[in-house]
Every structure is written in C-alpha cells, then in structure tokens.
Amino acid sequence: MSEILIRAFQHPPEAEDESALEAIPASEIETLSDEDLQLSLFLCYGLQYCLFGETAQHWEWETSLIGLRKRLEVRFARELRETAGQLPVVDVEKLPEFLMDLGKPSPGRSLSRYLKQDATMEQFQEFLMHRSVYSLMEADHHSLVIPRVRGGGKPALVEIQADEYGGGIPGRLHSQLFELTLNELGMLTEFGSYFEDVPACSLTTVNVISYFGTYGRHRGAMLGNLAMTEIGSHYVNRNFRNGLQRLNGSDDSWLFFQEHIVADAVHEQLAAYDMCGRFVRDNPREVSDMVFGAVVTAELGARANEHMLSSWERGESSLRGAASVAAG
C-alpha cells in the first residue's frame, strides 16, 4: 500500500491512479501489516504538512486519496480504542491531577535512564532517528487544533505553541534545535530522511496526533495528547541531555534537550491546569475524549520506548530491516 502511495506522489493525480486507490477494498486494509498501515497513514497525513514536494501536493484534496485515508482510519481508530482499553471515569475538577499523575516519570525500566547511563552513541543516534519523524516538525501537528478550540484553554495552548516556535526568535524553533542536534552528530537533517527506517510503533506516535488534528471532534483527545507530550518531559529531557554529555556530544548537540528541561517544567503546568483543566470546565462533555487522548498517547509512547529498549537488550538494532545510522 505504501509503495502505491509513494509511486502515486511522483506525479499529479491521473484517472488511472485515482481508480487504483478507489479499488482498494476494506478487506485488504484489514490485512495490511502494521508497518504498511502506519507508513501509508504517515504518507497520507504528510500532505497536510507539505512534506513530499510540489507534485505530491496535487494529491492533498484528491477524493480517492481522502477515501483511502478514511478506510485506513477506520482500522486505526479501532486499534487506538483497543490500545487505550477500559478508560477511567475522571471528574472534570480532578482532570489536571489525573493528567499530572499519568505523565509523571515512573520507576523501573526507562528509555531515558538507559540513554543517560548505558546507551552507545549509535543507540543514541537510533533514538534520534525515531524522534526525527516528530521533532523535525515539532509543534506543527498540535497547531492543527488551535482554530478548533474556543474559550477556556486556548490562551495556554497558544502560549505553549509560541514557545515551541521559539518565541519569535529565529533559529530557536524547537524543530530547528533538533536539526542542530542531528547536524552536530553527523546525521541527516532533512525531514523524511528516516521515516522509512523507523518501525510502525514510532510512526504511530505521530500518526495519532495527525489523526486527532484532522477532525474537530477529536479536539479533546488532541489536547490530552499535547498534555502527555509536555507532562514529565523536563525529567526525560534532563536524562537525554546528560546522556549526550556522557557521550561527549558538543554543547550545541544537547541544546534541544536543555531547552526542554527549562520550557517543559512550565509547559506541563500550563498544559494540565490552564489548557486541559480550563477546556473541560467549559466543555465538560469532552472530558472522556481528553482522557482517551492522554491514555492512548501514554501507552503508544511506552510501547515505542519498550521496543527500543528490548531491541538493544537483545543486541539488535531498533530500526526496520537492515537500516543503520546514515551519517550525512
């Protein structure tokens, strides 16, 4: 499926391609591998962010492509519900504390502590490849929800996003700081350099944001997702920074993580109390959507982290196939 899309994006839509996409039955989507499902969704959503060049953009609102994406989303949505499992019932007034508790660092196995203490530079670079599918365009996915939120919660949402975009200072966008990290470590910095190398579990963590951002009815889930991105982030970023310092990374290589130690200590409070807390007070019927978004995000993140940790413990790469760190 992903191969069909990659081929199609090489030229503007033609009747032949359109009918090829329309002819793909739901039963075929049911049997796609996770890798193919997630890569196909990643390609469909990528058009929203102009990721694949001018020619591919002609496909953005092409009805056969939208139809295919919706058929993929039926399966994706069902899998997200299964992943979230039975959701707790959370009182509107207790929502911020619930989120803070869900996102707090836990003892035991931890990707960030492994990267801090034990990872080789090659493993750290693999981790950056996984992160690149999100962080090279950090904040852009979540910006999709801004026009969908009104009233309580919007000022905090916009404040968080403004910081993510560097507060108006050129070169300080978090995506640019991440690019600097990749560059300092001799890795490729162009968006898309690694998306075919990372497994489904990492693409899923980004696809879920695009999915929530595509539909207004998922705005609560999107805010729950953003909250989980912010809560506890300063703790893991301190570990990431310390790991790079241990591995003798240059000062510029860990600036991205340093920035998050400072910014996300503030963002987690803003996200839990001022953004999510105020939003659900004004929209109490959406509290369960927010809980869903937060729970599924936490679980998907944990699965991706566990995949990296267990691959490395087996002495294997966490990347797809034979991919290895492609030094630029």
**Positions that interact with Fe ion (CB under 5 A):** 164, 174, 230, 264, 267
Q: At what angle do helices 287-313 and 200-214 cross, to 10 degrees?
A: 160
Query: CA 126 to CA 155: how far, in whole Å?
Result: 36
Q: Which is nearer to Fe ion, 116 or 142 (CB)?
A: 142
Alpha-carbon dihedral of residues 299, 305, 311, 317, nearest 10 degrees? 130
Give the shortest CB-221-to-Fe ion separation in angstroms. 18
DSSP tag of 151: S
Give the shortest CB-174-to-Fe ion separation in angstroms. 4
User: Residue with structure tokens 């369960």?
Assistant: 288
Q: Which is nearer to Fe ion, 140 or 264 (CB)?
A: 264
Give the shortest CB-256-to-Fe ion separation in angstroms. 8
Q: Which is nearer to Fe ion, 47 or 145 (CB)?
A: 145
Give the shortest CB-271-to-Fe ion separation in angstroms. 8
Tokens of 24: 């793909």
Give the shortest CB-142-to-Fe ion separation in angstroms. 10
Query: CA 284 to CA 277: how far, in whole Å?
Result: 10
Q: Are 192 and 26 in contact (CB under 8 A)?
A: no
Query: CA 116 to CA 254: how far, in whole Å?
Result: 12
Tokens of 14: 């033609």
Query: CA 59 to CA 293: how far, in whole Å?
Result: 29
Q: Which is nearer to Fe ion, 141 or 218 (CB)?
A: 141
Beta strands in the chain (DSSP E): none
CA atoms within 13 A on the CB side of 316: 10
Cβ partners under 8 Å of residue 305, min gap 6: 110, 111
Q: Which is nearer to Fe ion, 165 or 215 (CB)?
A: 165
Find the angle CA(135)-CA(236)-CA(281) to the nearest 5 degrees.
Answer: 80
Give the shortest CB-74-to-Fe ion separation in angstroms. 32
Q: Are 90 and 291 in contact (CB under 8 A)?
A: yes
Q: Are 231 and 272 in contact (CB under 8 A)?
A: yes
Q: Which is nearer to Fe ion, 69 or 174 (CB)?
A: 174
Tokens of 213: 């951002």
Q: Which is nearer to Fe ion, 39 or 157 (CB)?
A: 157
Give the shortest CB-3-to-Fe ion separation in angstroms. 33
Give the shortest CB-267-to-Fe ion separation in angstroms. 4
List the one residue out of 73, 75, 61, 52 whose CA is nearest residue 18. 61
Give the shortest CB-134-to-Fe ion separation in angstroms. 10
Question: Which residue has the closest beta carbon to Fe ion?
Answer: 174
Q: Which is nearer to Fe ion, 221 or 236 (CB)?
A: 236
Q: Which is nearer to Fe ion, 23 or 162 (CB)?
A: 162
